[in-house]
């Protein structure tokens, strides 16, 4: 019996090892074939990287909401994608009226700032309500229970917003004048659009603000204490319920802001189910970076965006797979599966065993 | 009026009757120890006092007010600080951050600064390690940090749960010396210990707990002489 037990283990690791090698070989061969065929110019690659980083920073913003809540409650808030949707949809009306009145083009900085705050506040309030109504009564119940509730809450929010705004597609106003065109350095015109630069820096600023809040303020210190040990944190005089509400509000705010950024980057496709895919992708990003870790979520988001954007052209085309660009989502979820197999704790995460000890 | 008065407290874990009518008092300025074997209910008593467990029956009076209905995070501002079993330092936070959390409810920046200086002069090791993550320190240093953190709250009553647990004998002596120093500075202490020998040396009075009931209470000196205590807890035949 004993030796068979060890045989089993070595079989599993053998198969996993082979899988690792196969994946590596596929990636290298695909990349080599594409690059040696010279089908894409350097400009095209820069463009792909830029769009990957822009998309990735949107994922990162949403992923932070998953990771913050997980860090404190060890719970995956699967309704987080809908919180993103709520902010994005609600702010689209304000954005359109700003565009009609000309405010958006006259003072784009102020207008976009107002939009970000508005969407952030809408999403934050919904996140707070969700915590208060759906999750708080279930605290202390087995971990599967709030998970199922989260899925229910996600449907509830989708159909509430369908009821409110209808089932049709809305859209954000087209590109703001100030963001039209491409980035030029000196006299060199790059394939990077100004919108991409805007998306990246806007997300970056929000992430830095969050990082500062978590690492440098009293509230952030209390959040870190609560995530480490709720009971002792309470003994220090920290009101745990308040910290949990703040955590949901912060995650919600970032998701709402991400909704506006996403709307400016890609104006189409604003409807009541728009939260599902970004939500699942951002969850993937959070797991990828190590769920519970704030820098991990940022890194995971950017990494996922890059892989999604480069993967189809670089690897899949080189392997002769037709319609590679339609396999973006497949790449993202393959990544999720691979991470769960090979490095369940994520890029920056610590092993769960350590956390329990 | 006693600083702390626990009257006929019954605490349950689910259906398990853990405390079967505990009554004890702690007067201002005292060091009172609670000794007893494993599972006697020592930690449960402390957790009931600081609000982490709600008793089904009985009352806990602090300076004359019943505090049973207060949630745990409100008690520290009333003057009750606890050093939990196993120290409970925040491993991923720095020493300074841990100390600042002890003063979380306080607003007076100047006072906090001054108290941090006091803690550093009481535990010079902590000053050397201000920037270090608490989880990377030794058990003794973590115990000092946990005690320093509790002092940052300017408590009137300090609850200490097994401060000697897992420490080398030299450190145990050091910790008990510091307990006496803290007490001389005017902090009342309720001390839970398995190390009855040390506890009765620093304590003024003591209670002996057995399976959720108080079986003996006397001055520390008298308990040291008591035949039952000697046999059961001091290892003297």
pLDDT at B211 over 50: yes
Same domain as B211, residue B176: yes
Report yes or no: A231 at the B interface, CB cutoff 8 Å.
Answer: yes
Same domain as B52, residue B2: yes
Candidates A219, A235, A292, A295, partner chain B, best to mutate (most B CBs within 10 A): A235
pTM of the model: 0.89
Give the Å distances, CA to CA, from A237 to A136, A220, A227, A233: 20, 15, 15, 7
Residue B65 lies in a domain: yes
pLDDT at B237 over 70: no
**Which residues in chain B touch residue A235, judged by CB atoms under 8 angstroms apart?**
50, 52, 72-73, 76, 81-82, 84, 88
Report yes or no: A217 at the B interface, CB cutoff 8 Å.
Answer: no
Residue B84 lies in a domain: no
Maximum Cα–Cα distance across chain A:
78
> Of the candidates B99, B128, B154, which is a domain's last residue?
B154
Residues 6+ apart with CB under 8 A from B92: A224, A228, B133, B134, B135
Tell me if B88 and A231 make a contact (CB, 8 A cut-off).
yes
Fold adopted by A43-356? ABC transporter involved in vitamin B12 uptake, BtuC (1.10.3470)
Residue B123 sits in which domain range? 89-154
Same domain as B120, residue B31: no
Report yes or no: B153 at the A interface, CB cutoff 8 Å.
Answer: yes
Residue A265, helix vs strand vs coil: helix
pLDDT reported for residue B89: 92
ipTM of the complex: 0.90
- Closest-CA residue to B93 (of B58, B129, B121): B129
Same domain as B202, residue B135: no
CA distance A141 to chain B (A): 15
Report yes or no: A218 at the B interface, CB cutoff 8 Å.
Answer: yes
Same domain as B163, residue B147: no
pLDDT reported for residue A354: 44
Residues 6+ apart with CB under 8 A from A10: none
Spell out the alpha helix ranges (H) of chain A. 2-37, 42-73, 80-101, 103-106, 108-130, 144-165, 194-216, 218-228, 230-235, 240-265, 276-289, 294-311, 328-342, 352-356
Work out how many CB contacts closer than 8 A connect A with B.
61
Residue B118 lies in a domain: yes
pLDDT reported for residue A175: 75
d(CA B3, CA A296) in angstroms, rounded, equals 48
The answer to whether B162 and B193 are in contact (CB under 8 A) is yes
Give the Å distances, CA to CA, from A286 to A270, A283, A299: 23, 5, 9
Tell me if A232 and B100 make a contact (CB, 8 A cut-off).
no
Blockwise average pLDDT, block size 10, chain A, 357 residues: 59 85 88 82 86 93 93 90 94 90 86 93 95 91 90 93 89 80 78 88 93 92 92 93 95 94 89 91 91 90 92 81 81 86 80 43
Same domain as B29, residue B74: yes
Residue-wise pLDDT tens digits, B18-65: 999 999 999 999 999 999 888 888 999 999 998 999 999 999 999 989
Q: Which residue of B has its CA nearest to A236?
A: B102
Same domain as B161, residue B197: yes
Residue ranges of domains in chain A: 43-356
Tell me if B101 and A239 make a contact (CB, 8 A cut-off).
no
**Which residues in chain B touch residue A236, judged by CB atoms under 8 angstroms apart?**
73, 76, 101-102, 104, 149, 153
Same domain as B129, residue B60: no
Give the Å distances, CA to CA, from B48 to B8, B80, B163, B199: 12, 12, 18, 21
CA distance A226 to chain B (A): 9
Residue B175, helix vs strand vs coil: helix
- Closest-CA residue to B195 (of B211, B182, B206, B180): B206
Same domain as B210, residue B198: yes
Closest partner residue to A228 (CB to CB) among B84, B92, B105 is: B92
Q: Which residue of A has its CA nearest to B153?
A: A236
Tell me if A221 and B72 make a contact (CB, 8 A cut-off).
no
Angle at A199 between CA A257 and CA A195, to 5 degrees: 130
Same domain as B149, residue B159: no
- DSSP of A61-93, one letter per residue? HHHHHHHHHHHHHS---TTHHHHHHHHHHHHHH
- Closest-CA residue to A328 (of A287, A277, A290, A286): A277
Candidates A139, A140, A232, A239, partner chain B, best to mutate (most B CBs within 10 A): A232
**Which residues in chain B touch residue A222, judged by CB atoms under 8 angstroms apart?**
101, 104
Same domain as B164, residue B61: yes
**Which residues in chain B touch residue A225, judged by CB atoms under 8 angstroms apart?**
90, 93, 101
> Of the candidates B154, B182, B211, which is a domain's last residue?
B154
Same domain as B61, residue B163: yes
Tally of CA atoms within 13 A in the half-sphere of A153 that contains its CB:
25
Tell me if A221 and B101 make a contact (CB, 8 A cut-off).
yes
Number of compact structural domains in chain B: 2
Residue-wise pLDDT tens digits, B131-162: 999 999 988 899 999 999 999 999 999 999 99
Q: Which residue of A has its CA nearest to B149?
A: A236
The strand pairing partners of B160, in sequence order, are B83, B191
Do β-strands B188-193 and B31-36 pair in parallel, antiparallel, or remain unpaired? parallel
Residue-wise pLDDT tens digits, B83-120: 998 888 999 999 999 999 999 999 999 999 999 999 99
Residue A317, helix vs strand vs coil: coil
Tell me if B90 and A229 make a contact (CB, 8 A cut-off).
yes
């Amino acid at each position: 019996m004993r030796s068979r037990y060890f045989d089993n283990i070595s079989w599993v690791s053998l198969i996993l090892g082979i899988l690792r090698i196969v994946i590596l070989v596929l990636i290298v061969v695909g990349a080599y074939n594409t690059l040696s065929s010279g089908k894409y110019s350097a400009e095209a690659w820069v463009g792909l990287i830029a769009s990957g980083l822009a998309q990735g920073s949107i994922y990162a913003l949403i992923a932070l909401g998953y990771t913050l809540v997980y860090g404190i409650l060890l719970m995956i808030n699967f309704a987080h994608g809908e919180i993103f949707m709520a902010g994005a949809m609600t702010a689209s009306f304000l954005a359109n009226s700003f565009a009609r009145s000309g405010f958006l083009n006259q003072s784009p900085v102020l207008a976009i700032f107002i939009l970000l705050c508005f969407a952030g506040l809408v999403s934050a309030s919904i996140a707070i309500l969700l915590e208060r109504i759906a999750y708080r009564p279930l605290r202390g119940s087995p971990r599967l229970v709030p998970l199922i509730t989260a899925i229910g809450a996600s449907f509830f929010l989708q159909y509430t917003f369908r009821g409110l705004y209808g089932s049709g597609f809305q859209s954000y106003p087209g590109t703001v004048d100030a963001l039209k065109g491409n980035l030029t350095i000196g006299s060199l015109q790059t394939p990077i659009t100004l919108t991409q630069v805007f998306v990246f820096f806007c997300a970056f600023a929000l992430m830095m603000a969050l990082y500062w809040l978590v690492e440098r303020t009293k509230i952030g210190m209390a959040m870190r204490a609560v995530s480490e040990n709720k009971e002792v944190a309470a003994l220090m005089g920290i009101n745990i319920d308040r910290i949990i509400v703040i955590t949901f509000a912060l995650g919600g705010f970032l998701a709402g802001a991400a909704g506006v950024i996403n709307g400016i980057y890609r104006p189409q496709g604003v409807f009541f189910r728009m939260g599902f895919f970004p939500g699942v992708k951002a969850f993937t990003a959070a797991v990828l970076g190590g769920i519970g870790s704030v820098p991990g979520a940022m890194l995971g988001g950017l990494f996922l965006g890059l892989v999604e954007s480069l993967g189809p052209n670089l690897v899949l085309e080189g392997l002769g797979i037709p319609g590679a660009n339609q396999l973006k989502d497949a790449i993202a979820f393959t990544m999720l599966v691979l991470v769960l197999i090979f490095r369940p704790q994520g890029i920056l995460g610590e092993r769960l065993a350590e956390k329990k000890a | 009026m006693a600083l702390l008065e626990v009257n006929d407290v019954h605490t349950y874990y689910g259906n398990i009757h853990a405390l079967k009518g505990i009554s004890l008092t702690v007067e201002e300025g005292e060091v009172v120890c609670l000794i007893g074997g494993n599972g006697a209910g020592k930690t449960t008593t402390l957790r009931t006092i600081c609000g982490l467990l709600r008793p089904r029956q009985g009352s806990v009076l602090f300076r004359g007010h019943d505090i049973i209905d207060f949630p745990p995070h409100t008690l520290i501002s009333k003057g009750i600080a606890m050093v939990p079993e196993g120290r409970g330092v925040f491993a991923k936070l720095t020493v300074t951050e841990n100390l600042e959390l002890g003063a979380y409810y306080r607003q007076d920046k100047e006072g906090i600064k001054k108290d941090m200086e006091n803690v550093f002069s009481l535990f010079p090791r902590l000053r050397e390690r201000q920037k270090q993550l608490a989880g990377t320190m030794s058990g003794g240093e973590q115990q000092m940090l946990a005690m320093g953190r509790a002092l940052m709250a300017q408590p009137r009553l300090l609850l200490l749960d097994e401060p000697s647990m897992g420490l080398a004998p030299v450190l145990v002596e050091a910790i008990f010396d510091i307990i006496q120093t803290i007490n001389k500075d005017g902090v009342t202490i309720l001390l839970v210990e398995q190390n009855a020998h040390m506890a009765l040396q620093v304590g003024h009075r003591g209670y002996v707990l057995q399976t959720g009931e108080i079986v003996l209470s006397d001055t520390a000196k008298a308990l040291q002489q008591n035949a039952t205590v000697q046999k059961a807890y001091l290892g003297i035949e």
